Structure 1
Amino acid sequence: MPKLFEPLALRGVTLKNRIVVSPMCQYSAQDGFANDWHLVHLGSRAVGGAGLIIQEATAVSPEGRISPEDLGIWKDEQVPMLRRINDFITAQGSVPGVQLAHAGRKASTYSPFTGSGEVPAAEGGWPVVGPSAEAFTDNYPQPEALDAAGIQKVITDFRSAAQRALAAGFQVIELHGAHGYLLHEFLSPLSNHRTDEYGGTFENRARLLLEVVAATREVWPEDLPLIVRISATDWTEGGWNADESVQLAALLKTRGVDLIDVSTGGNVPKAPIPVGPGYQVQFAERIKAEAGIRTGAVGLITTPIDAEAILANGQADLVLLAREFLREPYFPLFAAHDLGVEVEWPAQYERAKPRIASAAGQR
């Protein structure tokens, strides 16, 4: 059995395989509400056989949205449609997860379909916050540095969002501590210039994330997994780096985190990132080995052979695919065929199932 199709148990949840739909913003919500687009988008990946489907960055507060079209989970009225989607995902044998997020200083910006940079108040924009009063780049909003009350609100918002996630039927929570959004902004000395207990030393810069983890674990059941996504490096001198990521992952493990979803970058515009197939896998491998925690690898993983090699070589425990799942919603079904594994197809699609003896050209 290829590693890609071995089940993985995380606390009381077992994934049928190790192929994960990575969170992908769809910028298709109104007032944070999910709709039929999200049902079909996420549901089709469940029909396609993914083991875990992590819903896109879902804002814990209105001001935590990246764009006005982001999904949200800041009020109870948003729960029923999320529940409907998750019920469908679960019925297909996949596990529904959600990425809880706060965009910080990268909030109140246009979706990629409509423009770039700051959305002005006249067009529905809002004041944004961050660890320090420094904008991400010239055409992004100028943030206000969070005070003590603002930090406590962020923690409370994540805690409340976790409660709603449970009510909505999610079985996995991923906290978004990557890509230059709020929790990552606090981690990195390039965006965090505070002089209080949330700035300066590694311990201080990691404090907010650890407090959010603790608040989430207070309300998230013991038998359900908690994941944290991090950017393992800012790819910029003087920024957050791989050594700190290993140190952070070890701390997160002691706080009840079950797996680190290892990405990179996003906190610095125009960082020199050496993009290429599997370019971030090295960081997942190092964190797994040195912090002793399970990891997920992500970043231009596009073929079953490459995905299998990452797992077979012990570099990570899961692979997360994004753009490849946009191109091929049924990636796991065809990956099984390519690797010679017999998996169950939906009964409605069984007549189109390629037989193992034939090549992928039958698709």
Structure 2
Amino acid sequence: MSHLFSPRSIGPLTLKNRIAIAPMCQYSAIDGVPQPWHVQHIGRLALSGAGLVIVEATGVEAAGRITPDDVGLWNDEQEAVFAEILRGVRTYSSTPIGIQLAHAGRKASTSAPWKGGRALTAEEGAWQTYGPSALPFRDDWHTPAEMTEADMDRVVAAFEDAAHRAERAGFDLVELHAAHGYLLCEFLSPLSNQRTDGYGGSAEARARFPLCVAQAVRDAWPRTKALGVRFNGSDWIEGGLALDEVIAFGRALYEMGYDYLHLTSGGNAPRADIPGAEPGYQVRFAEAVKQAVPDATVMAVGMIFDPQQAEDIVASGQADLVAIARAVLDDPNWAHHAAVTLGHGEGLPPQYQRADKAHWPGYGR
């Protein structure tokens, strides 16, 4: 019996296997509203064979988008379109669908990667960005406004409102985005948070605002649905986030009632030096949190694409689940193929079963 393909509960939600599809930005929305691209993208992932699909980073306010092309969940139209997509998915798939709620902070107001991935100009519609301190991510990016307590209150309310909208739209899970150098991650890291008030300085003070947001989302999201958080295990630069701070943050979220902890890294410093970025290079952070908070459900991510490696991560107890991202863009049937590799059977939808290993001589070619 494969460990990867054994069921796992995350809070009130039971997954058929330990594979989650991580959020992956598509940069294809209009005014935050999902488009036909999202219909086929989410639908395809819902048929992938994974136990869970998490929709891309979704801005909780217009100023919190990474790019003008990001999806959002701050108005009725966005909520209605997401609800329509989910109703459609439910006609052919029971795969749980979650959504990642996010605020880009100082990394907002940029162009999509294939449009240059740079700070927008005024002519391109640049907007005011916000951060814990008035420190740009890069010298040629926007300098964010240092957030006031009124700004923080506004953002907390935006996360809370987005959680309510996600519930009404029919999502099964919410993941809070506190990683990759976006707003909550910026507060956590001493590289980007140089405040001298109660929200900066010590690790406890730097975590104060992210935990305030986390509590607001916990209060807004029903306990009958799953709730998780994605956060960094390292900034990959000297003077950045320390592992003991990461563990303390994870423990606080677990004690707050978060159902899983999703460990990743990087994105908060352009000069980061990631040593040996090889398959599974971030699993160490998931393992460290799992060892320190053994009762927590922990998810690992980061260049995991070999089925046996995914199996070993779960079987060894380094993490309870693995999140797959680019491997699924490359092969939307990754989970089905992994099941066959690990001797678990394929489980394709009946409409596709003519292409499984037993019926199609071209399988795997």
Give me the TM-score of the superposition, normalised by structure 2.
0.96
Q: 1:206 to 1:300 in 2, by over 3 A?
A: same
Distance 1:58 1:257 in 2: 19
1:59 matched to 2:82? The reply is: no
* 1: CA distance, partners of 2:314 / 2:361: 23
**Cα offsets for 1:269-323 (capped at 9, x unmatched):** 1211021110000110110111222111111101111110100111101111111
Gapped regions of structure 2 (runs ≥ 5): none
Does residue 298 of the first structure (1) align with residue 330 of the second (2)?
A: no
How high is the sequence identity, in percent, across the aligned residues? 47
Letter in 2 for 1:158: F
1:203 and 2:204 are equivalent in the alignment: yes
Shift of 1:168: 1.1
Q: Report what 1:244 is aligned to.
A: 245
Q: Does 1:309 align with 2:308?
A: no
Where does residue 73 of structure 1 map in the other structure?
73
Deviation at 1:88, TM superposition (A): 3.7
- State the partner residue of 1:342: 345
Paired position in structure 2 for 1:116: 117
Taking a change above 3 Å as real, the CA distance of residues 306 and 359 of structure 1, as seen in their structure-2 partners, is: farther
Distance, in Å, in 2 between the alignment partners of 1:205 and 1:151 is 13
The answer as to whether partners of 1:136 and 1:269 remain within 8 angstroms in 2 is yes
* Cα displacement (A) at 1:6: 0.8
Distance 2:18 2:86 in 1: 19
In structure 2, relative to structure 1, the CA distance for the partners of 1:9 and 1:251 (3 Å cut) is same
Q: What does 1:246-285 align with in structure 2 at a 5 Å threshold?
A: 246-274=247-275, 275-285=277-287
Q: What is the identity, as a one-letter code, of the residue corresponding to 1:112? A: P
Q: Residue 263 of structure 2 aligns to which amino acid in structure 1?
A: V
| 1:50 lines up with 2:50 in the alignment | yes
Deviation digits for residues 100-155 of structure 1 (CA, Å, limit 9, x no counterpart): 00000000001011113210122111010100001000121110000010000010
Q: CA deviation at 1:89?
A: 3.7
For the residues of structure 1 that align with 2:113 and 2:5, how far apart are their CA atoms?
35
Matched-pair contact (CA < 8 Å) for 1:304–1:339: yes
Number of equivalent positions = 362
Q: Residue 165 of structure 1 aligns to a residue in which SS?
A: helix
Corresponding position: 1:9 with 2:18: no
Q: What secondary structure, in the 3-state scheme, does the structure 2 residue paired with 1:5 have? A: coil
Q: Which amino acid in the other structure matches residue 295 of structure 1?
A: V
State the Cα RMSD in Å. 1.5
For structure 1, list consecutive stretches of 5 or more residues without a partner in the other structure.
Answer: none
Contact 2:357 2:363 in 1 (8 A): no
Which residue is equivalent to 2:354?
A: 351
After the TM superposition, which parts of structure 1 deviate over 3 Å for at least 4 consecutive aligned residues? Answer: 88-91, 358-363
Mean CA deviation greater in 51-60 or 8-17: 8-17
Cα distance between partner residues in 2 of 1:225 and 1:360: 39
Q: Secondary structure at the match of 2:57?
A: strand
Q: CA deviation at 1:208?
A: 1.1
